[in-house]
Structure 1
């Protein structure tokens, strides 16, 4: 164990219990407000910290890493996704990268199902009617949606979150299908009653609902491109609680406007908080502000994982959630 306390810089406000524990263990610099650090502030942070604790709102690229001081040895990411961090360059500079996997699977899967229901049952439209005061009572033909039971759900990415979605979808009576980089073991397929599709194109063309649950990597960028989106059935919907870059957002917007796709539920966007304004105008789209993992329990668990990774590193061992380029 080191004789002096590690210098830790946290880029965003974290739950109070997490910040308190970090302060007890390390020489920590916390944020006073919840605004993302400016580029200048990030540069100063990497120049002075032994450990940087960023979030997905921070761009930790090669240029920033090149300005880091020699003392920076760990980037302990608060979150599972690390597509905002140049892991390869960090490794070349002798800086380890860790993340917080497995914490938000259930929370994100819950939100996935919420979006499936919101789109297929037109929940936001009903909410808007009630909030406007225009509701005049029940009608046999008003706001007719579709039944989810019996529909085919195609899950793109069958990791922890995808499998959690599969379990929930089965409880709603949906038929579970999936495409994944590697096929699941037969016993897991049997447990989930899930059908594997080696061809993503063939799966997309036959599903009623597509759920995007794969990470953003160079190989998944625009995996749902214009050509593949056109394979979807006219009455199909797509839901994304993973990363916005997996879907070609402009192509999706065009097809939603022309009703080549029935609807979409999105919690993430290709350009972060800069959402396509044409997308905002569509009634067949449900938009959420990246809140798939936003539960108090999940955020605290993420912080606990960050602390374990830093403490293990401080004790001279490999962080349990270390990320290496080969994993990406």
Structure 2
């Protein structure tokens, strides 16, 4: 039960009067008709869970607000008062907040007392903050709470913000001073995005007092990998903001989001009256804010990024179990919601004869991605909607086109499962590069292709995906899904210059490559390959072999590059046990606790018995393990390479094998595959494999599926899970450093 003062709604009513026209014609009635406020609110929030006691303006700010101001609309629960007070003091502008209190008598009274103490303790709070109270039994009705805060905001513009974000720059004053930006907001067709960031180190992200307040300082932290895009592990949530553009944008720029996708959920400023309200069926984590913005986008609102401004997340712990379960439920709800919303908006635009207007462009672009919608729309409307105004689609095709550039060996059924409902799949049959590129022209088999699947076998006909090939692709191509962890056969810089995303398949290769490295490690330490060759020659153990061999247990494994493969090898080696030490560009937050990090690589090498190399091949890693590093290894050390042959200076390694500084080497990769330096064949203590790291059907199927999944995710959300690191780092990093 509610406390008495919450149950008292006497005199709370809305009134309606007959119109002047009706009264002048002798109709209607001069008395007002009163409708109980509680009844009206129950209808306003009819899709929310009931019963619920909603008390607008439980506390009302003393200040008066100008209509063109921006009200932050947010929501808090009783355990977040402290961080909310911090937001109030920083923003010092109008805030409309929904406070949810769990409907337990003792709890209600305790929370209301804490709320009162917080509110009256700050003049800023009493001046700027309107508090709207919700008392019920239902946790995490986020969209209902957002709608309440927006409904009772007292300015023309609102910003949908979570209280854990710290506004680092004064975007409010800039927007109000700029008639160009204000006019866009008043037109009701624009929502302004303030890019969101978070610290990579959890504890550093709790010190709000040290957050950057200038873009120059932010870029310095980004370039030093201390700050990244908010929730970078779930790229679709914010990737459409195009952080690479943000990093290099000139001061004052406001740029349009051109790669919207339905998982996008930035923090936005928009007109209070006009854009759709958040769908209140979403309860709990997952999809709730994305659904708000999806419907806003269908209604014709486009997103524009403020390139001088940013907010930073104040790190805190999440309720992981609740998040996992609620996201699973909301994922299905969101899929149905998108289909339902598309059908509703397309019918509305059709009935209003507006399908060919710019207002409908967003809906056309998004809804054509849903095959169920394309099938459901009646044929006459379908033609106008998905053919007359094509973007990615052609008049012959109702789905985006993707190319399979090589033979799918193990995942035939997965192609249909992953892509069949959302794309037209075309298998490349071009005999050479020239004819391949020619088919992208108008009327060609590959015209209007959006995504490409490729793996190394395709090089036999098409060659590697170098700058020439990339530059020959049409502008419709937006994603290349490479099947393989190493992606050096694709010119990533040419891809970036053309705006084509590139993904690889890192996780799928981890186990197989790590076990290959482990085999080479054991074989070289114990010289098993020497013993096997002796046995095949009908001899027994070579004389004196034990003087050149060592047990694995207790030896020190140095790992160069603790990514997925390196981490997996570390776990395997630790079981013997071996001591595991590593060097990477940065200390890995995911490193097992038994791994020792060395910031100085030469200090690590001096303690290493076996060095295992796990770095990608890039321009800066060619010859990375050269004369200096090889000689820094302790005498009698062993080198294992399952990464790329060119990462090691082969001549320097051979010299060290010749003079005995290296006791042995285990190599699965070579600089000029399939050619192998014949001098390596002269060393019996060197174990050689013909690039066997992923040569098994289980791993190869996983790799095929992972590459196809990246294509599917791109088509569905605009982003794949395995975007290569060059796209995750600031695109304008060099320019940024020069500016600094």
State the TM-score, normalizing by the size of structure 2. Answer: 0.40
**Structure 1, unaligned runs of 5 or more:** none
- 1:204/1:231 contact within 8 Å kept: yes
Q: Are 1:52 and 2:452 matched, yes or no?
A: yes
Task: Decide which structure has the larger Cα Rg and report it.
Answer: 2
Which residue of 1 is the match for residue 151 of structure 2? none
How far has the Cα of 1:169 moved from its partner?
0.8
Q: 1:14 aligns with which of 408, 419, 424?
A: 408
**Structure 2, unaligned runs of 5 or more:** 1-368, 370-392, 730-740
* Cα distance between partner residues in 1 of 2:452 and 2:466: 13
Task: Output aligned runs, 1:211-230, within 5 Å.
Answer: 211-230=612-631
Q: Are 1:248 and 2:248 matched, yes or no?
A: no
Which residue of 2 is the match for residue 173 of structure 1? 577
How far has the Cα of 1:154 moved from its partner?
0.6
Q: Which moved more, 1:214-223 or 1:193-202?
A: 214-223
Which residue of 2 is the match for residue 80 of structure 1? 485
* Cα distance between partner residues in 1 of 2:476 and 2:727: 25
* Cα distance between partner residues in 1 of 2:605 and 2:402: 48
Q: How many residues align?
A: 317
Q: Are 1:28 and 2:28 matched, yes or no?
A: no
Structure 1 residues 5 and 116, CA gap change in structure 2 (3 angstroms): same
* Cα distance between partner residues in 2 of 1:292 and 1:45: 35
Structure 1 residues 72 and 150, CA gap change in structure 2 (3 angstroms): same
Task: Output aligned runs, 1:127-276, within 5 Å.
Answer: 127-135=532-540, 141-142=544-545, 144=547, 145-185=549-589, 188-189=590-591, 191-276=592-677
* Cα distance between partner residues in 1 of 2:634 and 2:440: 48
How far has the Cα of 1:109 moved from its partner?
1.0
Structure 1 residues 69 and 251, CA gap change in structure 2 (3 angstroms): same
Q: 1:98 aligns with which of 492, 503, 508?
A: 503
How far has the Cα of 1:276 moved from its partner?
1.3
* Cα distance between partner residues in 1 of 2:439 and 2:535: 48
- 1:45/1:52 contact within 8 Å kept: no
How far has the Cα of 1:254 moved from its partner?
2.0
Q: Secondary structure at the match of 1:154?
A: strand
How far has the Cα of 1:208 moved from its partner?
0.7
* Cα distance between partner residues in 2 of 1:218 and 1:111: 25
Which residue of 1 is the match for residue 389 of structure 2? none
Instruction: Give per-residue Cα distances to partners, 1:63-94, cap 9 Å, x unaligned.
Output: 12112234433211011222221222213223
- 1:256/1:284 contact within 8 Å kept: no
- 2:530/2:685 contact within 8 Å kept: no
Q: Secondary structure at the match of 1:104?
A: helix
How far has the Cα of 1:217 moved from its partner?
2.3
Which residue of 1 is the match for residue 286 of structure 2? none
* Cα distance between partner residues in 1 of 2:401 and 2:658: 53
Higher helix share: 2
Q: Identify which of structures 1 and 2 has the higher relative contact order when contacts are C-alpha pairs closer than 8 Å and 6+ apart.
A: 1
